[in-house]
Structure 1
Amino acid sequence: MRPFTYTASTNKEAALRAFTTTSHYLGGGTNLVDLMKEDVARPDQLIDVNNLEYNKIVKNDKGGFTLGAMLSNAATANNKDVRQNYPLLSMAMLSAATAQIRNMATNGGNLLQRTRCPYFFETSMPCNKRAPGSGCGALKGMNATHAIFGYSQKCIATNPSDMCVALAAIGATVEVQKQDGSSRMIDFNDFHRLPEDQPEKDNTLNQGELITAIHLNEPAFSDHYYYLKIRERSSYAFALISVAAGMQIKNGTISKIGLAMGGVAHKPWKLTEAEAFLTGKSASQANFEEAAMIAMKSAKPFEANKYKVDMGKKAIVRALTQAYERKN
């Protein structure tokens, strides 16, 4: 690990003022510190934001709840209001990592997780995300766990977050503080970006912007929901494929639905066409299977990850079926 300076901030103004082009904000550090140990991240300064006031869950003026960015994943997932109103989010967050990591990791930090692509972590290998212009080692290398949607010739890595897949399904807005003291709102589906020609950019944050809150939409899927995570081992592993499914059902008909996948793209992959197909339809096996076909029709796998197409179809059907059959 390279030397760095540590700055503790007690308010957002101090944190924003301290930020430079070589700084990183420090929350739980569960991802950032690992990257520093591997010499992938090389900040000259860490600005600790854990003591800022954004560590609560409160009702917001849109009928939903607001999650403080500095609150831990564990405290969020186990919060009574989250479990009651957003059980899909709680379920997804509790499937992630270990209990110890969830106790440390923050909500804002979860949104900023970097890919677990092995070429990104191995500094002797080419990786456009880590070293722009060096090439993508995974493109013609070991890519069994990589993207099947939205990738480019520059990068085929995937987003590793479970929390973010659920947020894509239920809908949210990310609030960030700018260095000039003002704030801005980012629709969650616009927060992460596809690699295109700049795979080193995981999200649409500008330099120095600090995530302070995640505003959740009005609760909609508290009865019918399911988060399915398929992984190589049953615990402490990232998803090969995950599906977050939430439904409102009235008289057997789906009146509203949220559907997103993880492990398949550079960002949480919202299944908008499948959502549109299912809205107004009956919650039937046949419709779930048709929705899965629609969702996976544009997949472009590599030879080593062709399995993700069939697995993805089955995962979508299973998640929808479990959501339909499940009721709080």
Structure 2
Amino acid sequence: MHKDLVAALDIGGTKIAGALVDGGGELLVRAQRPTPPGGTGEQVMAAVGEVLVELAASPLWAAARAVGIGSAGPVDAKAGTVSPVNIPGWREYPLVQGVREHAGGLPVTLVGDGVAMAAAEHWQGAARGRANALCMVVSTGVGGGLVLGGELQPGPSGNAGHIGHISVDLDGDSCPCGGRGCVERIASGPNIARRALDRGWRPGADKDVSAAAVAASARAGDSVAIASFERAARALAAGIAATATLVEIEIAVLGGGVAKAGEVLFAPLRRSLREYATLSFVQGLEVVPAQMGTDAGLIGAAAACGDVRHARVARAGRRVRTPSAEGRPCP
């Protein structure tokens, strides 16, 4: 019998993934649905329900003790609601209540997707063994999570470390969040591609206009594509340096689709970071790629949940304080 089994959900603007995860971080059963584009709140929740129904069909479901959710944000862990910028149908949507109903009343823990990624990278990935880390998802959006003093710090609402909506350009473009010049508005995949297209970059015969296609052009020497990634790198560097100066992180871990661009992103990021992280106590800051890949959200959602947390703490020798949907630490 598998121990410390948790049902995990990773909810984003493109897909809704689910898994049954054991205490060692192994994904034993998987399910996935596309996030309905432009869907109503109930249509998106129906897709979440389909994922949970598929997981519940496994004989292992009977051993699941809880459900952990890592969702695009912002989230409100106290209220159990979500208002993801990239899921317009969900505004203060009662996600925890809906998941609990589909999961037969199991306890539910909700955190932002960046916090989930941080939990995964600190448990088994690039931030393992580090006491102070910022872990970032750079993809359709830009999110993040913090580990401080060896503990995951999701904050009272589950959003702490949400670096994507720090303003790094006071006169920059308006952001869907209501701010201006946010890191996400400059460094997310769609905005990298948008900026390249606006400045004359054109896709190849396959008509691919994604950030991955821009990255391929940059590797081939296209100056407009290179400039778009350099601009994204500067925005990320400014946000990372500000975070490091505020809370003295020692490492920044970048994952997500945009981070797969490799040195097209990381080389200018490290150069720009030297310009922004100038104080003595942040000059040694490391920036590294994430190691957990596309499963980070699921593993982190499980790690952020109390049932798996205890198994993890026994190995790591540290506690991880994570709010439940009611705002209390997980049992």
Q: Which TM bucket (shorter chain)?
A: under 0.3
Please give the TM-score of this superposition, normalised by the length of structure 1: 0.28
Flag the structure with higher helix content.
2
TM-score if structure 2 supplies the norm length? Answer: 0.27
